[in-house]
Structure formats: structure tokens, C-alpha cells
Structure 1
Amino acid sequence: MSRDDRTPRYSRFVALGDSQTEGLNDGDDARGYRGWADRLAEHLAVVNPNLLYANLAVRGRLAHEVRAEQLSPALAQSPDLVTVMAGVNDLIRPGFDAAAVSGHIGHMLGSLADTGATVVTFTYPDPGRRLPAGRLLTARTRDFNDRIRAAAQRHGAVVADLSAHDVTSDPRLWSGDRLHLNALGHTRLAAAVAHALELPGSDAAWSEALPAQQELPAWRVAEAELRWVAGFVGPWLVRRMLGRSSGDGREAKRPTLGPVRLPASADEPVNIEP
């Protein structure tokens, strides 16, 4: 029997999470955001044109908010494939509680797996490799990843192990804020999930390193750091002090299952037909 013959033919895919699963910054507010989950839905729709897809993710959500707001709607739609990507917004905050956050993720994995669905979750790249202050989060990230792996093992979830591959920290996969993937990063992540699921046409090419790049002079690096602090760190700190979130007032972009129409071009967001 070939690999393609034994691969499940998923028909109801639901994605849970925060901004990464919503699709920032693969697209924009005017055209809509595509993102890795939409790209994965396209891959699935090639195998099964009758695929139904919902994306419940909302930017800025913490793990307990993903659980409170998205788990029940996901269960109500009876998916046979679910992705759960949460916890990074918690990870970068001063009061991060690894046990509590991984507990919320474990609860979601267990509740979804109990329905018989295939459940996918993620480990995360070391932020110390792309953020100046990220080294302060390296040990925290490793511990969190270990907890996610343990929860996945308990509940039989598939793990897209992003932390195991150096390319996931390559700045060329990340947008200017260094917190969200760009189009190339989302493309690689979609391919990583497809590979973890052993979907037809998937392979390990997503984990290959990008071509070597010439190092920038020190003054260019310093200039880029100043722009990043002014453009992204400052506004983020202001929101934290004011108790605001980038997701305030926002709702899921695709709250219910709908058919997938494959895009006409690589840059067009995936569409849900009425």
C-alpha cells in the first residue's frame, strides 16, 4: 500500500489559535490574511475538493482565551482534523506560568482528541535567535516546548516540531515585527504541518536551510534594531500598560465550516465560498 493510499482523507478542518493562525502578516487588512492554516486548507482541498474549513483564531489571544472562546465552537463543528497553536502571547509576558498555559493547551488537545479527530499542535523556535532580548526567553521556551510535547504524547496529538529545525529562526521567514511569519514563513509552516500529517505531496523540504546570506555591517544592524524598537516594541509596551490587546473587538475570520476555493495566484488569500 502506498503512503497516499493510507493517508486519511480529511473533510472537516478547524484551526484554533492566535495571530499566527489567523495569518498575520501573510497579506494585509485590505486584502485579508492568508497564513499557514489557509495554505494547509488549500493543500487538503487538492486531495479532497469537498473539504470544509473553519479558522477560529483571533490575534492577541492568550491560551486560556483560546480555550474559553474557541474550543466549544470547534467541538460543535465535529472536525476530523484540528490544529491548536497557542501560548506564544503568554510566553512573552512577564508573569508567564508554564504549567497553567500548557495545562490549557493539554485540555484542548484532550477534548479534541476524545472526539476521534486528528489533532496537531506545535513547539516554538527559540526567540533568542531573532530578538535582541529573546535570550531571556530561551530557557522558558525550551521548558514550554517540553511541556507541549508531553501533553501531545498523553493525548495522541501530532507535533509539528518547529523548535527542532534551525531554519524556523531564520529572519527571512519573519516579518518586520519579528513576532509574525511573513508569506515565506507561513508557506514553510503549512508545509511543516502537511509533512507531520504525512499528506500526499509533502516532504521534509520545508526544513531545509535558506541560501547563505552576506552579513550586514554593524551600523545597518543597529539602524534596524532602532527601527524595530520604535515601530513595534514601543506600541506593544503601550498596549500592555493600557491593558489593551491587538485583538480587542475582533472576531474569527472564518468562524464556521465552509468550502475552500483554491486561489488563482500564490498571493491571493484562500476563500470560503458562500
Structure 2
Amino acid sequence: MPGTDPPYARYVALGDSQTEGLGDGDDTVGLRGWADRLAEALAQHNCALQYANLAVRGRLAGQVRAEQLAPALALRPDLATEVAGVNDLLRPRFDADEVAEHLEAMFAALTAQGARVATLTFPDVARITPLARPLSSRVTALNERIRQAARRHGVTVAETSHHPVVTDPRLWSPDRLHASPEGHRRIAAAVAHALALPNSDDTWTHPLPPAKTAAAVGWRAAAQELRWATSFLGPWLGRRLRGRSTGEGHTAKRPHLLPVQTPTSPRHGEEPS
């Protein structure tokens, strides 16, 4: 039953740009993201919660394992979230079994140390952008392997892939790779619901109100796709061809366990109201 487990005291998030929080704030004002939002929800039930976020944008699953697993274990979390693999399935040479091996190794190590571990499945990217249709089978293969590995290690899975709302364009930033602030809010709510946190429910699965403007059709839709390809897909492919990553020069934004400011807490430099 929700609320019967003791509150978590140490939460550590592992992953890539989604867990780092891209799409929810920016590098100037700071990133929030779904993991920060989940930590805030956890802190509502345990004000002594400490939270670390080791995620770094651009990281492949193998890099998350190599760079983040050991530091995560050293922090001895009682709750860990592990979300990775999207950067892998975007690469030309994608091997679902290899990605799943890295994910499962992290599941095994974290749960063996006593942590409750949560992860999630990914939406079909073709429902977000038609140009990504060739990736649909990759997403399906990765999701199935995540479920299998999670069952073997008692990992909680937030099944975000099942619900139509997760591909609503309003839940995604203009690059269609990272969630928007509302998307991050819903991911946090999905994980909280999967963990059966107090006051969590399935409202994150509900559709958004009808859009004020009609969806583009015909040549307008084609023009939107062209603009997206020019603004985001082209530069992304260019970085890959040059062997570059968006994560170059970036490190974890929150590598140490620190107290969590809830939304009602004063921000740094602010006076309590």
C-alpha cells in the first residue's frame, strides 16, 4: 500500500541528458528536470532527504556504467533511478543486447547493495517525429530488454511507453529529444506512481486539454519537419560525424548528496516569505 514503506533518505540519479534535466530550464538559470522534481516530492515526506544527480548529457549506457555506477555505489543510496539507452539507439550501430547488458549490470550492483531501483520505458519516437520512424523497432527492442532485466532484479519500471499522452508535442522541447518542463513533471509523477509514493496517482497518464491551434497537415507539416531537421537533426548528425558529443566538458551537476529544497523552500539567495 502507498505510504507503508519508510521514507527514503538517500536518492541518487544516474543517466544522460533527460535525467540531467535538459529541456527544463537551461545552463544559464540552471536545470531542474524530472529527477530533481522527484527528489522534491520525496522531500515532502522526509525533509532529511539527501539527493545526488550524477547524470551527464550525451552519455551512452556503457559510459553511464563506467563513469557513474561506482560513485553511485559509494554514496550508498536507498533509492536510485537509472535511465539510459536513448543515445545508444540513435547511433548507427545499435545493439540492444549490449545496451541491456550495461543497464542490467547497474541494476544488479545497485540492488545487491540494498537500493530500491527504478527505471522507465521509452516512447516510440516515430510518434513524436515521423522522420524517426526507422528507430521504432529499436525502441521496442530496448524496452522489452529493460523489462526483462528489471524483472530479474526486482527493479521498478514506470511504463511511460504505454500511454498516448507521452507523445503529445507539448510534453517535448523543440528539439523533440528532451522533455519540456511539463514533460519532466509527468516523468517525475510516473516514477513516483510506480514507486507508490504517498499522494501519487495515475493523473500523469491523462491527456492534456485540446490544443488551441490545430495540428499542421499537408505542406505545413512537411515544412515543420524540414525546419526541425535543419535546426536540430542536421547539427546532431554533424556532431556525430565529427566524433563530438553534447556532453563534452560537462560533469555531473550534483555529484554529492545534498539536502533538497522543496518548491516552497526559499531558493539560494532568497529570504523566506
- Shorter-chain-normalised TM-score: which range? over 0.9
The residue that corresponds to 2:32 in the other structure is 34
Report the 3-state secondary structure (helix = DSSP H, G, I; strand = E; otherwise coil) of the residue aligned with 1:255.
Answer: strand
CA–CA distance in structure 2, aligned partners of residues 3 and 65 of structure 1: 34
Shift, 1:217, TM fit: 4.2
Aligned length: 265
CA–CA distance in structure 2, aligned partners of residues 87 and 217 of structure 1: 32
The residue that corresponds to 1:272 in the other structure is none
Q: Per-residue CA shift, 1:116-143, capped at 9, x if unaligned?
A: 1100011100011011222111111111
Give me the TM-score of the superposition, normalised by structure 2. 0.94
The residue that corresponds to 1:231 in the other structure is 231
**Residue 52 of structure 2 is aligned with which of 41, 46, 54?**
54
CA–CA distance in structure 1, aligned partners of residues 188 and 261 of structure 2: 17
Identity score, percent: 58
Shift, 1:227, TM fit: 1.7
**Residue 88 of structure 2 is aligned with which of 90, 110, 128?**
90
Shift, 1:29, TM fit: 1.0
The residue that corresponds to 1:215 in the other structure is 215
Q: Per-residue CA shift, 1:6-50, capped at 9, x if unaligned?
A: 133100000000000000010011111000000000000010000
Matched, 1:261 2:261: yes
CA–CA distance in structure 2, aligned partners of residues 198 and 130 of structure 1: 28
Shift, 1:248, TM fit: 0.5
Please show how residues 162-201 of structure 1 align to structure 2 within 5 Å: 162-201=160-199
The residue that corresponds to 1:252 in the other structure is 252
AA matched with 2:2 = R
Q: Per-residue CA shift, 1:137-185, capped at 9, x if unaligned?
A: 1111111111000000000000011111111111110000000000000
RMSD (CA atoms) = 1.4
CA–CA distance in structure 2, aligned partners of residues 233 and 7 of structure 1: 44
CA–CA distance in structure 1, aligned partners of residues 108 and 149 of structure 2: 8
Equivalent pair of 1:7/1:198 in contact (CA under 8 Å): no
Matched, 1:117 2:96: no
Which blocks of at least 5 consecutive residues in structure 1 are unaligned? 270-274
AA matched with 1:62 = L
Which blocks of at least 5 consecutive residues in structure 2 are unaligned? 269-273
